[in-house]
Amino acid sequence: MVKIAIIGGTGVYDPSILSHIQTMEVVTPYGDVNFQVGEFEGKNIAFIPRHGSKHSIAPHLINYRANIWAMKKIGVENILATTAVGSLNVNMKPGDFVLVDQFLDFTKSRVNTFYEGGERGVVHVDVTSPYCPSLRQLLLEAGNSLGLTMHDRGVYVCAEGPRFETPAEIAMFKKLGGDLVGMTNVPEVVLAREAEICYSTISMVTNFAAGISTSPLTHAEVVEAMNANTHNIKQLAMAAIKKLNLERDCNCRHALAEYGGFKL
């Protein structure tokens, strides 16, 4: 049984952190998903590169529903997702890690639910705590034990992309309470919630956002910053997985209880 998945963002595709690696394919109603499964500390872990192994999938075109459905189908109960983010908060500096606890959704063209009516019906999932509190706490403790600069909460603003944001947009996001800006966390977090999977995001700050940064933004800058801190983000994920109790229950696993639970 595979109970843990890592969904890797920019610069974090490295299945070599696992042993006994095999490639799997799962057929879903939204398309086929190819990913790798390996072992770490006696635990089976699935690894999905969110943008594809060659970073060829734009953020607004990622098949979020297929990815989450596939993870649910193989038995995943815990997802650690990594994201590269720009900072709107001067206290959250490049190289810092943020365990976001809330999001603002500014996406425009993405389907953000498994429930669009018809045979599956319609549900209204509660997202008071969209990111699993127990996973966030586990990651915080793991990061602190490694001596990393950790922020235990933050508001992730999800923009549509693939372009970077304008300074005016960043100023608006900041006024609305945003701390970080990225392009991939929504609808992934919402779909994981509907699928009753514990989900937490490890956001690594790669740069200050437009209008805060003193220079124009480039994708190369993001990749360079990720590469400089790749070892730390891998160590953080592995340290948390090592401590993760796979027998624990969680409110996330019952998010659709009033609807009879999530059904594949």
Under 8 Å CB-to-CB from 260, ≥6 apart: which residues?
A: none
pLDDT > 80? residue 11: no
In this structure, what token pair is assigned to residue 78? 């815990």
pLDDT of 263: 93
Q: Closest Cα partner for 241 from 46, 16, 36?
A: 46
pLDDT of 45: 94
Q: What is the 3-state secondary structure (H, E, C) of the chain?
A: CCCEEEEECCCCCCHHHCEEEEEEEEEECCEEEEEEEEEECCEEEEEEECCCCCCCCCHHHCCHHHHHHHHHHCCCCEEEEEEEEEECCCCCCCCCEECCCEEEEECCCCCCCCCCEHHHECCCCCCCCCCCHHHHHHHHHHHHHCCCCEECCCEEEEECCCCCCCHHHHHHHHHCCCCEEECCHHHHHHHHHHCCCEEEEEEEEEEECCCCCCCCCCHHHHHHHHHHHHHHHHHHHHHHHHHCCCCCCCHHHHCCHHHCCCCC
pLDDT of 51: 78
pLDDT of 69: 98
pLDDT of 24: 93
pTM of the model: 0.94
Under 8 Å CB-to-CB from 176, ≥6 apart: which residues?
A: 104, 157
pLDDT > 70? residue 186: yes
CATH of domain 4-259: 3.40.50.1580
Strand partners, 103: 156
Residue 14 — very low, low, confident or very high, per pLDDT cuts 50/70/90? low
Q: Residue 203: what residue type? A: S
Q: What is the CA radius of gyration of the chain?
A: 17
pLDDT > 80? residue 257: yes
In this structure, what token pair is assigned to residue 140? 């915080």
Q: What percent of the chain has pLDDT over 70?
A: 94
Pick the more confident residue, 220 or 149: 149
Q: How far apart are CA 156 and CA 100, in angstroms?
A: 6
| Mean pLDDT of all residues in 10-24 | 71
| Mean pLDDT of all residues in 134-150 | 97
pLDDT > 70? residue 42: yes
Pick the more confident residue, 100 or 226: 100
pLDDT > 90? residue 210: no
| Mean pLDDT of all residues in 98-126 | 96
β-bridge pairing 198-208 and 78-87: parallel
| Mean pLDDT of all residues in 133-148 | 97
Q: What percent of the chain has pLDDT over 90?
A: 78
Pick the more confident residue, 84 or 176: 176
